[in-house]
Amino acid sequence: MTTLLTDWRHRPTHLRVWALAAPMILSNISVPLVALVDSMVIGHLPHAHQLGAVAVGASLYTFLAWAMGFLRMGSTGFAAQAAGRNDGAALRQILLQGLLLALGLAMLLGTVGIPLSNLALAWMQPSPELNQLTREFFHTRLFGLPAALASYALVGWFLGTQNARAPLAILLTTNLVNIALNLWFVLGLDWGVVGSARASVIAEWTGALLGLALTQKALRAYPGHIAWAALRVWQSWRPLLAVNRDIFIRSLALQSVFFMITVQGARLGDATVAANALLLNGLLLTAHALDGLAHAVEALCGHAIGAHDRQALRRSLVVACGWSLIASVGFALLFTFAGHLFIAMQTDIPSVRETADLYLPYLAVLPLIAVWSYLLDGLFIGATRAREMRNGMLLTVLILLPFAWLLQGYGNHGLWISFLLFMALRSLTLWAIAWRLNKQDRWLNDAAPIERT
44 band by pLDDT with thresholds 50, 70 and 90: low
Assess if residue 453 is contained within a domain.
no
Burial of 219 (0-12, 13-18, 19+ CB in 10 A): middle
Distance from chain centroid for Cα 183:
24
pLDDT digits (tens, 9 = 90+) for 71-102: 777 777 778 777 777 777 778 888 888 898 88
pLDDT at 57: 73
Assess if residue 350 is contained within a domain.
yes
pLDDT digits (tens, 9 = 90+) for 293-352: 887 888 788 778 877 788 888 888 899 999 999 999 999 999 999 999 988 887 777 888
Residue 215 reports pLDDT greater than 60: yes
DSSP category for residue 226: -
Residue 411 reports pLDDT greater than 50: yes
Q: Domain range holding 339?
A: 2-439
Assess if residue 275 is contained within a domain.
yes
Q: Which residues of 363-392 are buried (b: 16+ CB within 10 A; e: fewer)?
A: bbebbebbbbbbbbbbbbbbbbbbbbbbbb
Closest CA to 82 of 74, 90, 92: 90
pLDDT digits (tens, 9 = 90+) for 218-270: 788 777 777 676 666 666 677 667 766 787 788 778 877 877 777 777 677 77
pLDDT digits (tens, 9 = 90+) for 157-187: 888 887 878 888 888 898 889 888 988 988 8
Residue 31 reports pLDDT greater than 60: no
Least confident interval from 15-19, 41-45, 108-112, 122-126 = 41-45
DSSP category for residue 46: S
Q: With H, G, I as helix, E, B as strand and everything else as coil, classify residue 20.
A: helix
Closest CA to 158 of 17, 304, 23, 15: 23
Asked if 313 contacts 11 with a C-beta cutoff of 8 angstroms, the reply is no
Closest CA to 308 of 198, 449, 428, 119: 449
Assess if residue 402 is contained within a domain.
yes
- The whole-number average pLDDT for the span 391-405 is 92
Assess if residue 145 is contained within a domain.
yes
pLDDT at 230: 64
Work out the mean pLDDT of the chain and round it to a whole number. 82
Distance from chain centroid for Cα 175:
15
Assess if residue 180 is contained within a domain.
yes
> How many structural domains compose the chain?
1
